[in-house]
Chains A and B, each alone.
Chain A
């Protein structure tokens, strides 16, 4: 019993999960039952995958001990690349592939520069934030190109499921979440990610290719962000060059609320998802409860700090529960 309690207290995503449940109850009551009705849930679940995919990438990268501020810009650059290519006659699959390759290249550059020159990824990706955003505007020529009308929306944004509850994007999101979760917890590569972020010298001295592990995480993070940007553009129907602004910090907040540690080694994909959901729930719940929507950022900020404090406290409590060694 004590061991079980300790095990759960040690779960990094626990604080976020408790907060999420409490807030859902609060908003459900405050909105007189509107919050959890089908229409509102459909709205929340329809846009959750976009921020959620970014948060998954950012969380995994943070577990490996690095950081990516360029995700918001990549989020805009990827669909813009696709749109420009399609305007010039490229078919959708080719444009998709090219867009994902651009993301992978950006992730590679982020990782390579960070490791090769031993500089903080905060700096590398801050630079990339500006460069990728600028490229987005440059390739669009300042005008968002018109998307072709025959896009495969059925594969990405159409509503499906019982009562048309989900968009297809949710299924992509769920699949990515399950796969990345399994990767972290069940594969040797996941073990390397945690070891690399947990304590780099130990990972290196045990023969883990830490540079390659980090670069792969950077690339995964960029690719997921770009893919999420494409989902948003398909949902909105237009590749605006300004989408994703501020997303990088929201994604970090989501990862941190979900228990990821800024210093690496700790965190779960589920935590990142819980954090994102929490942010979406607050965004939506405040409006439904007739609270001035300008309190949204205040709430996110407060929650970020609160969740980290709560997590630190719980971990300390867990450590204090002495088990016989």
Chain B
């Protein structure tokens, strides 16, 4: 296993009196696929929201590639190479694939104060390449995301993260509400991350999906890490028993 790309130490979070994270310490290693499991309210989402800049920790330390960082906004997280893909939250259905790929990070030909003219040629070319790179076959980058299937949308989101060279990709319940075929496709995407040297954090309720594509499984319960083992050294039953 590689060195730690993200390490969190003694992370705490309170939500109006509820102690949601109780001193979580965890390393995410370079190039591994990590499955993060736990029941609702176990603290998984809180941890992920802190790493992706949606919430801030009340106490604790986050290091990315050995450097202590402060992640205040989603943009900070993206700039650090941490990309989060939510089941529903990452695509605008009324916009084209090409536009979605570059939301918030559009290439411009020139700009004043961050506002500028889109480089549409570059967007079209790069989006075709980005989609092909994750082995997704779509007719045109101009198709609306709203017309894609759930699995295809996850594919586009993953293509986007790859395109922007993210180092850590957090997938929040990416297989929820997907058909078996689509689920397999997404699991294939997660496996593909490793080949490209990207750390994948796979969050799921479904233990089988986690065991299918992850190297390591981390279980959380009541705001704490209760199990952290290599998939080869544990079993679905053992993980269930600690939750």
Contact = CB atoms under 8 A, between A and B. Distances in A.
Interface of A: 10, 186-192, 194-195, 198-199, 201-208, 261, 265-266, 319, 323-325
Contacts of B41: none
B45 to A, nearest CB: 13
Contact of B118 (A188, A207, A265, A266): A188
Nearest to B102: A191
B54 interface: yes
A203 B92 contact: yes
Given A188-B115, A191-B106, A199-B92, 13 more contacts: A187-B116, A188-B111, A191-B103, A194-B92, A199-B93, A202-B90, A205-B90, A206-B78, A206-B90, A261-B94, A265-B94, A323-B139, A325-B149
Interface in B106-153: 106, 108, 111, 114-118, 120, 137-139, 143-144, 147-149, 152
A194 B111 CA distance: 19
B73 A198 contact: no
A194 B95 CA distance: 8
Contacts of B137: 325
A191 B117 contact: no
A303 to B, nearest CB: 24
Given A189-B115, A207-B73, A201 B104 contact: no
29 contacts: A10-B144, A186-B117, A186-B120, A187-B108, A188-B106, A188-B118, A189-B115, A191-B99, A194-B94, A194-B95, A195-B95, A198-B92, A199-B92, A202-B90, A202-B103, A203-B103, A205-B90, A206-B74, A206-B78, A206-B90, A207-B73, A207-B74, A207-B105, A208-B104, A266-B94, A323-B139, A323-B143, A325-B149, A325-B152
A201 B75 contact: no
B166 to A, nearest CB: 13
Nearest to B120: A186
B89 A201 contact: yes
B101 to A, nearest CB: 10
A85 to B, nearest CB: 30
B88 interface: yes
A208 B111 CA distance: 16
Nearest to A263: B94
Main secondary structure, interface of A, reads helix
B3 to A, nearest CB: 28
A204 B116 contact: no
B84 interface: yes
B57 to A, nearest CB: 18
A191 B90 contact: no
B91 interface: yes
A42 B144 CA distance: 41
A199 B88 CA distance: 10
Nearest to B74: A207
A188 B118 CA distance: 6
B164 to A, nearest CB: 10
Contacts of A204: 74
Contacts of B90: 202, 205-206
A202 B117 CA distance: 22
B211 interface: no
Given A201-B89, A207-B74, A186 B118 contact: yes
A173 to B, nearest CB: 23
Interface string B42-73: 00000000001010000000000000000001
A253 to B, nearest CB: 21
A195 B147 contact: no
A125 B242 CA distance: 53
B94 A188 contact: no
Contacts of A266: 94
A201 B93 CA distance: 12
A199 B99 CA distance: 13
Given A188-B111, A191-B102, A202 B92 contact: yes
A209 to B, nearest CB: 9
A187 B89 contact: no
Contacts of A323: 139, 143
Given A207-B75, A323-B143, A325-B138, A192 B92 contact: no
B92 A208 contact: no
A198 B92 CA distance: 6
A192 B103 CA distance: 7
A205 B84 contact: yes
Contacts of B117: 186-187
A199 B91 contact: yes
A206 B76 CA distance: 10
Contacts of B115: 187-189
A53 B91 CA distance: 31
A66 to B, nearest CB: 16
A201 B92 CA distance: 9
Nearest to A322: B147
A202 B160 CA distance: 13
A10 B142 CA distance: 12
